Each structure stands twice: as C-alpha cells, then as structure tokens.
C-alpha cells in the first residue's frame, strides 16, 4: 500500500508547472482570447517536444506508454495555468479512443502523428452519458458498405482545428445502439461552426453532419463500452483540470490578501477571509486524493473506474466553482474586472462544471452504481 505519487510523477508535475509558468502565463492565455484557433501552435509543439502528446500512445507507435495518472498530473497543471487548446481532447480522449478501440489501419494512420502532434483529434460525444442525446447523430449503413452519418453534435471542442473527431452516434438499423466513428473533418458533408461562449480558454463548435460517409474501418469498438470509457476519461480529465484551477484561485486569493490593506491591516488578517481560504483547502485536499485514486484505477482496476471518475467529477467541478467564487469575493472590486486574471479561472470553472456531465448527473451515476 502506497498512496501517493512516485518520484518520477512528482518530477513530471514539477516540470509541467515550471514549463507552463514560463510559456503559458496568464498573459499568454490572454493572447489567444481573440484568436479564432484559440491556442498557440508554437506552445503546442513545445508540449509535444516534452512528450505530453505521446504520453498515452504505445511505444510501438512512437509513444511513451505512460499511465492515466501521469496524464492527470499534467492536466492538473494545465488547469493551474488555464492552458487553452485541444490538448486534453486530442492527447487523452481521441488518443485513448484509438488506442483502445481503433482498427489496426486507423491506429497505423493516426497514432504516430497524434504522438508527434502533427495531428489534432477531438471527440464529439456531447450529452451526458451513453444513450443521452445519442440520437442527435444517426449512423445508417451505406449502400456500398461503410456508414452515413447525419445529424448534429453541439459543443464539440476544437473541431475547427482538428483533423478528425471521434463521434458518438446511434446505429439506425440497430435501434440506436451506441457506436463510435472516426470522422475526418475534411469529409464532404461536414460543417463546423465556432460557437462563441463564456470560457475564452476553450473553443467549442457546432458540427453538422449531412450524410457524411465513413468507411468500415472508421468504426471504433466496442462502441458502448468504449463510449462509456471515453466519457469517464473526459470526466476525470476535467476533474484534474479543476484540481489545478482550485489551487490557482486559492493561491491568488491568499497572495492578494497578504498585500491588500484596509483598516490599516492586511485583509488576509480578517477572519472572514481566513475562513474562506481554509474552507477551500478543506475542499481541495480530500478531492486531490480522490482524483489520484480515480486516475490510478483507470489503469489498475478499470471495473472500478466509472464510480471513481463520477465521484471525482461531481466533487471537483463543484469544488473549483466554489473556490473561484470565493476567490473573486476575496479580491473585492478588482476581482470583478476584465483586467484582473481571475475571471479566466472563474469562467473555466463554469465550463468544467457542465463539460462531460453536471455534478448532479454524476451523483446520480454514483447512486446507480452503488444501487441505492
């Protein structure tokens, strides 16, 4: 029994923190606010040089074959930095979809270039769980073999810069059974429209499918189980991001409270602020342990992953939102300005709360799994 990070994991986290402090500062985050891509390709290449996009790709495809926990640590740091861009959707979700369910030819075609960050993938799963909103996208058998996809997927992250997406669809001829397809974004009949939204560190799109043809090898299997796994990994990833975000808003509030003076003393000496900060810590530390546990079981005992991921997502997305709200309040008026960086995390927390299922959705899953 050893519950904690290994030395190499501590080192990985430390490197990520330092790297993002240097290349992903709040100023860097702001620099992409107005850009349509919504992220820096140069930074993305640097991340690839550090091996981050290759973490979950097996060695046979030029990857590092690391664990979900390793990835979660990098994602925690990405949350701490409010890193913009498709990293998690490509290097974790699209990559795992291929590693765990891709046909041999699809793996061959994509994994190597995903690892090198020559390709960007994303996922179009929207909806909160298997079956939910699945009928928004329908897959019909094409006359000459393969599949025809039609319908829409909303809130697809970074579809406008992705080379392919892993899309969830219901199979028409099989009563809407869940299935996953790898769809290239350049496919005829596919239309991507950027949706402007609150969290400026993320980009999401509405993707319309108008009889988009995909070949047989584009199907990822087994559809239902893999879809569930991807939703769990997505929930975990957002939870990890929220952990880092919580640390950041806490740190900002504590630092500010030491320097801002009112009534002739630092505001951090007021108990109202001290207690608000302490409550964030009390939320944060157990949630961190839960996250490590969930990330660990994703590899070690996948049968317990669904419950753990649901718990981590339900807890951490609320912890982050609550911490961000408290942190804004602890800053006073300056915290409400566009100029101050805090709203970057405040809004990211809101994005995290709904992305891959609301806390209430995940609590209901916990209830169902435990058989209340």
Partner 1 sequence: MDLTFSPEQEALRSRLRAWLAENVARSGLKGPRPRSVDLDSETIARYKRWQQRLYEAGYVALSWPKEYGGQALDPVSQAIVNEEMLCAQAPALIGAMGLEMLGPTLITWGSEAQKRRYLPKILTAEEIWCQGYSEPEAGSDLAALKTRAELKGDCFVVNGQKVWTSGAQHADMMFCLVRTDPAAPKHHGISYLLIDMRSPGIRVRPLVQMTGERGFNEVFFEDVQVPAENLVGRLNEGWQVANATLVHERNMLGAVTQSQQLFGRLLALARSMRRNAAPLSRDPVFRQRLAALEIRVEAMKHHMYRLLTDRQKGRHSGLPGMINKLVGTELNYDLATAALEALGDAALAARDEPEALDHGFWPYEWMFSLGMIIGGGTTHIQKNIIAERGLGMPRIR
Tokens of 372: 């209340």
| Other beta carbons less than 10 A from residue 304's beta carbon | 15
Q: How far is the CB of 257 from partner 1 (least distance, A)?
A: 6
Binding-site string for partner 1 from residue 308 to residue 337, where x marks contact by CB under 8 A and - marks none = ---x--xx----------------------
Nearer to partner 1, 135 or 279 (CB): 279
Nearer Cβ to partner 1, position 105 or 269? Answer: 269
Rounded least distance, CB 299 to partner 1, Å: 9
Least distance in angstroms from the C-beta of 130 to partner 1: 19
Is residue 7 part of the contact set for partner 1 (CB under 8 A)? no
The Cα 47–Cα 343 span in angstroms is 25
Restricted to residues 265-294, the positions that interact with partner 1 (CB under 8 A) are 265-266, 268-269, 271, 273-275, 277-279, 281-282, 285-290, 292-293
Owner of token pair 């240097």: 22
Contact pattern from residue 42 through residue 81 relative to partner 1, giving x for each residue in contact according to CB under 8 A and a dash for the rest: ---------------------------x------------
CB of 356 to partner 1, least distance (A): 16
Interface positions, 349-368, toward partner 1 (CB under 8 A): 360, 363-364, 366-367
**Rounded to whole angstroms, how far apart are CA atoms 341 and 357?**
26
296 is a site residue for partner 1 (CB under 8 A): yes
Please answer whether residues 160 and 195 qualify as being in contact, where contact means their C-beta atoms are separated by less than 8 angstroms: no
Give the nearer residue to partner 1 in terms of CB position, either 135 or 299.
Answer: 299
> Could you give the CA distance from residue 132 to residue 116 in angstroms, rounded to a whole number?
34
Return the range that interacts with partner 1 (CB under 8 A); candidates 22-30, 112-120, 203-211, 295-303. 295-303
Give the residues across from 151 on adjacent strands: 137, 209
Q: Which of 162, 224, 220 is nearest to 37 (CA)?
A: 162
Burial class (CB in 10 A: 0-12, 13-18, 19+), 364: middle
In whole angstroms, the minimum distance from the beta carbon of 3 to partner 1 comes to: 4
Smaller CB distance to partner 1: residue 222 or 266? 266
Half-sphere exposure of 154 (CA within 13 A, CB side): 10
Q: How far apart are CA 137 and CA 212, in angstroms?
A: 11
3-class DSSP state for residue 152?
strand
Cβ distance to partner 1 smaller for residue 69 or 97: 69
Nearest to 167 by CA among 122, 133, 211, 131: 122
Q: Is the peptide bond before 308 cis (omega within 30 degrees of 0)?
A: no
Strand partners, 141: 147
Q: Which is nearer to partner 1, 228 or 364 (CB)?
A: 364
Q: What is the contact surface with partner 1 in residues (CB under 8 A)? A: 1-6, 69, 254, 257-258, 265-266, 268-269, 271, 273-275, 277-279, 281-282, 285-290, 292-293, 296-297, 300, 311, 314-315, 360, 363-364, 366-367, 370, 372
């Amino acid at each position: 029994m050893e519950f904690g990070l290994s030395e190499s994991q501590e080192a990985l986290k430390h490197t990520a923190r330092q790297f993002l402090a240097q290349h992903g500062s709040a100023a860097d985050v702001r620099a992409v606010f107005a850009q349509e891509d919504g992220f820096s390709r140069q930074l993305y290449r640097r991340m690839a040089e550090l091996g981050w996009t290759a973490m979950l790709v097996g060695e046979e495809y030029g990857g590092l074959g690391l664990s979900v926990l390793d990835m979660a640590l990098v994602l925690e740091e990405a949350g701490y930095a409010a890193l913009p861009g498709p990293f998690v959707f490509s290097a974790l979700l699209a990559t795992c979809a291929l590693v765990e369910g891709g046909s041999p030819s699809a793996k061959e075609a994509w994994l190597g270039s995903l690892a090198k960050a020559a390709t960007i993938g994303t996922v179009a799963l929207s909806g909160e769980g298997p079956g939910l909103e699945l009928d928004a996208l329908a897959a019909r058998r094409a006359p000459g073999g393969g599949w025809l996809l039609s319908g829409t997927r909303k809130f697809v992250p970074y579809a406008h810069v992705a080379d392919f997406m892993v899309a969830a669809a219901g199979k028409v001829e099989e009563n809407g059974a869940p299935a996953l397809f790898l769809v290239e974004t350049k496919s005829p009949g596919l239309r991507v429209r950027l949706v402007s939204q609150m969290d400026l560190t993320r980009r999401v799109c509405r993707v319309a499918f108008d009889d988009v043809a995909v070949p047989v090898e584009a199907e990822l299997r087994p559809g239902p189980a893999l879809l569930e796994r991807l939703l769990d990994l997505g929930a975990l990833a957002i939870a990890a991001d929220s952990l880092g975000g919580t640390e950041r808003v806490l740190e900002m509030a504590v630092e500010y409270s030491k320097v801002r003076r009112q009534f002739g003393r630092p505001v951090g000496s007021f108990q109202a602020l001290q207690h608000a900060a302490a409550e964030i810590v009390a939320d944060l530390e157990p949630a961190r342990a839960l996250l490590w546990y969930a990330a660990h079981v994703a590899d070690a005992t996948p049968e317990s992953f669904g419950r753990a991921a649901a718990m981590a997502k339900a807890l951490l997305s609320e912890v982050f939102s609550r911490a961000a709200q408290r942190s804004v309040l602890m800053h006073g008026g300056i915290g409400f300005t566009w100029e101050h960086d805090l709203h970057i995390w405040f809004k990211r927390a809101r994005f995290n709360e709904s992305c891959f299922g609301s806390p209430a959705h995940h609590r209901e899953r916990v209830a169902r799994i435990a058989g209340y």
